[in-house]
Chains A and B, each alone.
Chain A
């Protein structure tokens, strides 16, 4: 049945890209180039190195932001999960942030930190932090009581319970939180490009739009979506291999 599933995937890809091609050729809009032209533009951008230079710029705030919010978020999350007082104090902020349209803070960040890298890293951080913190704290809180009790029955020290029971039991969900954080961080990085200053991929998008080179614009947008989807897919697969047999993360958003 593996063959059948692959077969259907190819069919559905052909249908979607085919209708893009036909839609583009039939001239729905002058701003809707066919699939083939966008792909040609994509290869041109890759071949002359523009794409690589652009991504070096675009990914900078993403990488820095994810590292900062990953480390900070996991530490905060563990602390929230272990301490009821800290949970009461800190959790509500992240719960509100989780449901809030954080993008609204961008104009404020620009006013406060200018249009440089700092603002962009900040945007990635505020987007990625809530899901990392909340997943981590939920995972720590939801460590099955039976194995915590078992460790206690065998005279485990508190530090042993944290290191040998709570952290391994939470790691699948913490990792899933990190993946969702990366996913939100991508949105932050793109927003930075489009709203703060276009330095990388955003520059290709806005420049090609201004000269009405629509295939290049579509190619740039296609590339960032493709990159995000591929990277998140790799993370998800890594997760499945790493945590085979243990409970998987929740769908949380």
Chain B
């Protein structure tokens, strides 16, 4: 583990009044890799992600991204939302370019950048459609293109595939593996699906609730270089899925 860390979380606490949401959370997110935050509901994984994004302040402790302490949302991070968070009144191209629009990039420039990423996520021809005309899967592709187009070093994904159907979800997972390979970005991926976490991750942080803490870090090795079709039959894949389920089982109500 000599890899450089893109994001470091150091002794982060988060309290809501008397309720302790995160206790002494420390985690490293290596550069260019995909790290999953996996755990049952109420384990604070989304809270941690939003603290990294700068959307929520930590009660104490710090988050360091590329050597700088996080206070606010910044251009080094881009967020992909569970419920897509698209502007219903804006076309696909304006939605994709919205991050750049907020940074004051000129219209022609931001639209040509957006155009490229719309093509990359496979939405060519839908530039002038509106979100309500798209399926759930296509909407999340728009959200993904928006995150990619601001060219942030770190992509924060909050259960991005939980609102799309199972087939679309599998396709997304395959695409995500390719994206990690091609983009040389750091991905932080929140999910509650064990299979999904094991399938897409370079590193899995297993979180346990009440109060939230990191119980284990798992790094799959043997199937990482296999092609997407054979991962689900790999014996290490199956072992890890099994092991995670055994440690989570007692936390399921």
Contacts and interface: CB of A to CB of B under 8 A. Distances in A.
A153 B87 contact: no
A247 B88 CA distance: 9
A138 B97 CA distance: 29
Contacts of B199: none
| Interface size range on B against A | 20 to 34
| Interface size range on A against B | 20 to 34
Contacts of A245: 88-89, 130-133
Interface string A163-176: 01100110100000
A157 B101 CA distance: 12
A150 interface: yes
Best-surrounded residue of A154, A157, A160, A243 (most CB of chain B within 10 A): A154
Contacts of B133: 245
B193 to A, nearest CB: 21
A153 B55 contact: yes
Nearest to B87: A147
Contact of A168 (B79, B81, B87, B103): B87
Q: Is the interface of A mostly helix, strand, loop or mixed?
A: helix
Given A149-B85, A150-B85, A245-B130, A155 B78 contact: no
A164 B104 CA distance: 13
Q: Is the interface of B mostly helix, strand, loop or mixed?
A: loop
Given A153-B73, A155-B72, A146 B78 contact: no
A195 B126 CA distance: 58
Contacts of B189: none
Contacts of A156: 102
B83 A154 contact: no
Contacts of A243: 89
Contact of A154 (B84, B90, B98, B130): B98
A115 interface: no
A59 interface: no
A75 interface: no
B190 interface: no
A151 interface: yes
Given A146-B81, A245-B130, A245-B132, A154 B87 contact: no
Contact of B75 (A144, A155, A165, A246): A155
Interface in A162-213: 164-165, 168-169, 171
Nearest to B84: A146
B103 to A, nearest CB: 7
Contacts of B85: 144, 146-147, 149-150
B210 to A, nearest CB: 25
Contacts of A247: 88
A153 B79 CA distance: 6
B99 interface: yes
A139 to B, nearest CB: 13
A107 B57 CA distance: 56
Interface string A217-251: 00000000000000000000000000101110000
Interface string B118-152: 00000000000011110000000000001000100
16 contacts: A146-B81, A147-B85, A147-B86, A147-B87, A150-B79, A150-B81, A152-B55, A153-B73, A153-B77, A153-B78, A155-B75, A155-B102, A168-B87, A168-B90, A246-B88, A246-B132
Interface of A: 144, 146-147, 149-157, 160, 164-165, 168-169, 171, 243, 245-247
Given A152-B55, A160-B102, 20 more contacts: A144-B85, A146-B83, A147-B87, A149-B55, A149-B81, A152-B73, A153-B78, A153-B79, A154-B102, A154-B103, A155-B103, A164-B98, A165-B87, A168-B89, A169-B89, A171-B89, A245-B89, A245-B132, A245-B133, A247-B88
